[in-house]
Amino acid sequence: MDAPFSTQLVNVLAALLLLIAFAMLSQRRVLTLIKLFAWQGAVLTASTVVVAWTTGYTDLYISAGITLSLKVILIPWLLHRLIDRLFIRWDIETLINIPTTMLIGIGLVIFSFALATPISQMASTLTRSTVGIALATVLLSFLMMIVRRKAVPQVIGFLAMENGVFFAATTATFGMPLVWELGVALDVLVATLIFGIFFFHIREQFESLDIRHMEKLRQD
């Protein structure tokens, strides 16, 4: 495999990641949202493997393994189980209508590319455009957390944000030290479990997972 081809491959995967982030932003159904999240994890795994293959950093294979088992299999499965047990199948309401959200999203992408340009200059050729895309994914997930009212989509937004950050870690720096990645993976897993516990508590108290019910504590 020659270098330009692998670069193209990473770029295609980066573009897919961004596309999935937009798809999540426009998706109304919670089950599809979880499926998209799993796909995003799969793309992340693939890009990690490509980078590992091209650069020969073996640690990255382990990192890809962690991503695969955690973000493609374990967490989506946990979320599925949760929504089965909680009987939530509703469509997602958004605070802003979807076309407007998409327009804001496009603005965010342009902003992230502008911000990342000076950094891209000094990145290696393999990863030139990926810092901008990683940043855009983070910001789009952030946007998703802001415009969604229900608890589950907010959590998926948080996890997608983590995906964006990891994409930056694997492509821009060829992977962070492995110990550190294990630590982060553990934190993400524990966070998901706590979110799960939370869903039950919230349901018990509010009989709904709608964050709108939680407006007792005012700004002042």
Partner 1 sequence: MEVAIVLGLPLSGAILLALVGQRAWAPELNATMSFATFFAAILLTARVIADGPILALNEQFFVDPFNVFLVALTAFVGFTTALFSRPYMRAEQDRGRLNAARLRLYHSMYQLFMFTMLLCLLSNNVGAMWVAMEGATLSTVLLVSLYRTPASLEAAWKYFILCSVGIAQALFGTILLYFAAEKVLGAGGGALLWTHLHAVRSQLEPTVLSLAFVFLLVGYGTKVGLVPLHNWLPDAHAEGPTPISAVLSGLLLNVALYSVVRSKVLVDGALGHGFSGGLMMGFGLLSVVVAAFFLSRQRDVKRMFAYSSIEHMGIMTFAFGMGGAVAAFAGLLHMTVHSLTKSAIFFTVGHASQVAGTQDMASIRGLVQASPTIGWGLVLGTLAILGLPPFGVFTSEFMVLTTAMHEHSWATPFLLVALGVAFASIFGKVQPMVFGESSVEPLKRGPALVPVFTHLAIVLALGLYIPPYLVGWYRQAAALIG
Which residues contact partner 1 by CB under 8 A? Answer: 57, 115, 118-119, 122-123, 135, 138, 142, 145, 151, 154, 158, 161-162, 165, 168-169, 172-177, 179-180, 183-184, 186-187, 190-191, 194-195, 197-198, 201-202, 204-206, 211, 213-214, 216-217, 219-220
Contacts of 20 (CB under 8 A, 6+ apart): 36, 39, 40, 43
- Alpha-carbon separation of residue 125 from 51, 57, 201, 218 (angstroms): 12, 17, 49, 50
Residue 129 CA to residue 149 CA, distance in Å, equals 33
Q: How far apart are CB 61 and partner 1 at their closest, in Å?
A: 15
Per DSSP, what are the bridge partners of residue 150? 210
Q: How far apart are CB 149 and partner 1 at their closest, in Å?
A: 13
Task: Return the H-helix or E-strand segment holding 100.
Answer: helix 98-122
Residue 193 CA to residue 179 CA, distance in Å, equals 21
Q: How far apart are CB 107 and partner 1 at their closest, in Å?
A: 19
Beta carbon nearer to partner 1, 20 or 99: 20
Residue found by looking up tokens 């890809």 in the block: 64
163 neighbors 44 (Cβ within 8 angstroms): yes
DSSP state of 92: P
Q: How far apart are CB 52 and partner 1 at their closest, in Å?
A: 13
Residue 155 CA to residue 174 CA, distance in Å, equals 27
Q: How far apart are CB 191 and partner 1 at their closest, in Å?
A: 6
